[in-house]
Amino acid sequence: MIYLDHAAATPVSQKVLQAMKPYFTDDFFNPSAAYLPAKKVAADYETAKGTIAHAIGAKANDLVITGGATEANNLAFTALETELKLHSGPHRSLPSPRGSRAISRAAALRNTPSWSVNSVLYLETEHDSIRAVAQKYSGIAIKVLPNGLVDLKDLKSKITDETILISMSLVNNEIGTIQPLAEVSALVKNIRIDRLKRGIETPIYLHSDASQALNLLDINVARLGVDMMTLNAAKIYGPKGVGALYVSHDVKLQPISVGGGQEQGLRSGTENVPGVIGFAEAVCEAKEHLNGNRKKYANFKKILLSELENYELINKKHSLDNFVVLCYNGIDAERLIYLLEEQNIYVATGAACAASKGKKSHVLKAIGLSDSQIAGSLRLTLGETNSEEQIHEAARIINSVVSSEKERLRNG
């Protein structure tokens, strides 16, 4: 099997599985229990959180562990609920006397909260989990350039005094584009200074979903200037069902689930100890092999681009080394997937979740591809399961499958 869909899912590494095992069977205690073995489990859990946090230049307390990246993304957007609470409670009048407020008076008078259209800005190429939650808060999309990077002009034009949250993935999950977050955060910082000067209290936060980034980019939240960042164990050879949200001290969130008060009250429920231990081990492995892996995947990509024939490369620049997005114009990529599968090669057309619903990729559309180009696009994402031999083999088989498909179309 040649698996080229590491952006959709990664296997749990042997080291991660070994690290998790004792916490399933021997150190299974409830971290909230009063006796020593349980307190040891609680301490190991905190240490693991610290390891994950340290990898992005943060501390254990800055992280809220969640049931995955989607939940972390949803949690990030509760910053808007905090604003809603602040400005619609019985003790505060609305609009605030000191400045512009993001929640419309009309919305406050209805019971279903509604938002000024500029409260939330998100990149049009975001993953479904951001798009869905952004739309819940009436968010509007920021355009990207044909190279996949954020259109900073469009972003600037859409930021108003009502804007509370900007959400922009560090690495796009379909084409691997790495966004210039530091540039965006510098812009956000200037807006903060300007609002302060003008007595406008509405905060503005930058959130970034870094699910795809942690094992190939050296991430530091302070350097990037993000206020919140989503992490995902399942994309970096850790277990499914575990994610985390980095939250800076300035941001106040609302819990999605209430209960026992775990995770500083932001995410109640008995801690998924094995999951977090595995997440931490996956982070360690990612950091250890960061440079080696980047070189390896850059080399794999080079091999593919030189040995593959008659393709158009979609993600030419600004992209993570393990993303290779190819277009075979005039060919149905869905058919290619099945033909490649018969040869034990597994690739994707768009995001996995989008793929299963037969939707056209909104990302490829956003960067300006035609319907026919989109229909002919394959996403190859390289990873730990691949060897150099596999890459040569994959190039050979893809060439052969594509050319026989072209032959079939000519004769059909």
Report in angstroms the alpha-carbon separations of 121 from 191, 292, 351, 400. 14, 36, 21, 44
Cβ 83 to a second copy shortest distance, Å? 11
The reply on whether position 11 binds a second copy by CB under 8 A is yes
User: Rg of the chain's alpha carbons, rounded to an integer?
Assistant: 23
Tell me the sheet residues that pair with 16. none
User: Can you tell me which of 269, 318, 329, 360 binds a second copy, judged by CB under 8 A?
Assistant: 269
Q: By CB under 8 A, is residue 18 in contact with a second copy?
A: no
Mapped onto helix, strand or coil, the DSSP state of residue 313 is strand
- When binding is defined by CB under 8 A, the residue of 157, 190, 270, 387 that contacts a second copy is 270
The sign of the torsion formed by the CA atoms of 153, 155, 156, 157 equals positive
- At CA 129, angle to CA 275 and CA 153, rounded to 5? 125
Identify the three-state secondary structure at position 377: strand
The angle that helices 388-411 and 290-307 make with each other, rounded to 10 degrees, is 30
Residue 28-67 contact track with a second copy, rule CB under 8 A, x = bound: xxx-xxxxxxx---------------------------xx
Q: Should residue 274 be labelled a site residue for a second copy when binding is judged by CB under 8 A?
A: yes
Nearest CA among 315, 340, 336 for reference residue 326: 315
Mark the segment that binds a second copy (CB under 8 A) among 140-148, 186-194, 258-266, 393-401.
Answer: 258-266
Per-residue binding letters, 146-175, with a second copy (x by CB under 8 A): ------------------------------
Within 230-249, which residues bind a second copy (CB under 8 A)? 234, 239-242
Out of 48, 56, 133, 380, which residue is the one contacting a second copy (CB under 8 A)? 133
CA distance 132 to 126: 10
Task: Give the whole-angstrom CA distance, residue 294 versus residue 330.
Answer: 32
Q: Cβ of residue 188: shortest distance to a second copy, in angstroms? A: 24
Options 5-13, 146-154, 199-207, 217-225: segment touching a second copy (CB under 8 A): 5-13
Instruction: Supply the minimum distance, in Å, between the C-beta of residue 340 and a second copy.
Output: 8
Residues from 346 through 385 that contact a second copy (CB under 8 A)? 346, 348-349, 352-353, 355-357
From residue 80 to residue 119, what is the string marking binding to a second copy with x (rule CB under 8 A)? ----xx--xxx---x--------x---xxxxxxx------
Nearer to a second copy, 36 or 412 (CB): 36
Give the number of residues in contact with a second copy, rule: CB under 8 A: 84
Between 305 and 353, name the residue whose CB sits nearer to a second copy: 353
If one asks whether residue 70 binds a second copy (CB under 8 A), the answer comes out as: yes
Please report how close the Cβ of residue 218 comes to a second copy at its closest, in angstroms.
25
As a whole number of angstroms, the distance between CA 397 and CA 130 comes to 36
Minimum CB distance to a second copy smaller for 188 or for 233: 233
The residues in 179-208 that bind a second copy, with binding defined as CB under 8 A, are none
Task: Identify which of 117, 116, 135 has the alpha carbon closest to the alpha carbon of residue 77.
Answer: 135
Cβ closest to a second copy, residue 1 vs residue 389 = 1
Cα pseudo-dihedral 95, 97, 99, 101, rounded to 10: -20
Between 70 and 202, CB nearer to a second copy: 70
Exposed, middle or buried by CB within 10 Å (0-12, 13-18, 19+), for 246? buried
- Nearest CA-CA partner of 192 in 164, 220, 215, 214: 164
CA-CA distance, 237 to 234, in Å (whole number)? Answer: 6
Q: In the complex, what is the shortest distance from the CB of residue 395 to a second copy, in angstroms, rounded to a whole number?
A: 19
Minimum Å distance from CB 40 to a second copy? 12
- Contact between 15 and a second copy by CB under 8 A: the answer reads no
Cβ closer to a second copy: 58 or 256?
256
Q: Before 95, cis peptide (omega within 30)? A: yes
- Restricted to residues 278-337, the positions that interact with a second copy (CB under 8 A) are 334, 337
Residue 266 · residue 37 · CB < 8 Å: no
Number of other CB atoms surrounding residue 78 within 10 Å: 21
| Binding residue for a second copy, selected from 258, 302, 396, 403, defined by CB under 8 A | 258
